[in-house]
Amino acid sequence: MAPIAVGNVLPDGKIFLFDENDQLQTVSVHSLLAGKKVILFGVPGAFTSACSLQHVPSFIEKAQPLKAKGVSEIICYGMNDPYVMKAWGKTFPENKHVKFVSDGSGEYTKLLGLELDLKEKGLGIRTRRFAMLVDNLKVTVANIETGGEFTVSSAEDILKAL
């Protein structure tokens, strides 16, 4: 399947998150993102070095400038189980704006065409690193990395596109 691209409408599917009452919720992507300007950024793995030291911090640090440009939500998406994503999110005590969501089974990653085979590194099939700007479900920016690189999907790259 071809990767999601600019001009595409995000497919609907289920993802998992913990709500403000710390209850695990299964939510439809469309119900979560419809009518909003959202940054959805994907990581190959929670607690991995580039994800923890560069990718997530870039969005935490740039959250205010992104929101000032009209972004209503910033969502970190990973193919880890929801409990791992929750625990990982808690390792960023300065975070006030990035929501962590899970696609533990990889079903939504397949719908996006963003699978990354990292079996040789002991990680299995994961999500390619990416950052997308989505406006009312339509992809307006799609910065998708090749391999495990981190060259086009930072918060700074999205800010430039805004």
Catalytic site includes residue 51: yes
Scanning the chain, the segments in alpha helix (DSSP H) are 29-33, 49-50, 56-61, 63-68, 82-89, 107-112, 155-161
Which residue, chain included where needed, has tokens 């990718």?
55
In this structure, are residues 33 and 134 in contact, taking their beta carbons and an 8 Å threshold?
yes
Which of 130, 2, 147 is CA-nearest to residue 76?
A: 130
Max CA distance (Å), the chain: 41
Choosing from 17, 38, 51, 56, which is the catalytic residue?
A: 51
Catalytic residue numbers read 51
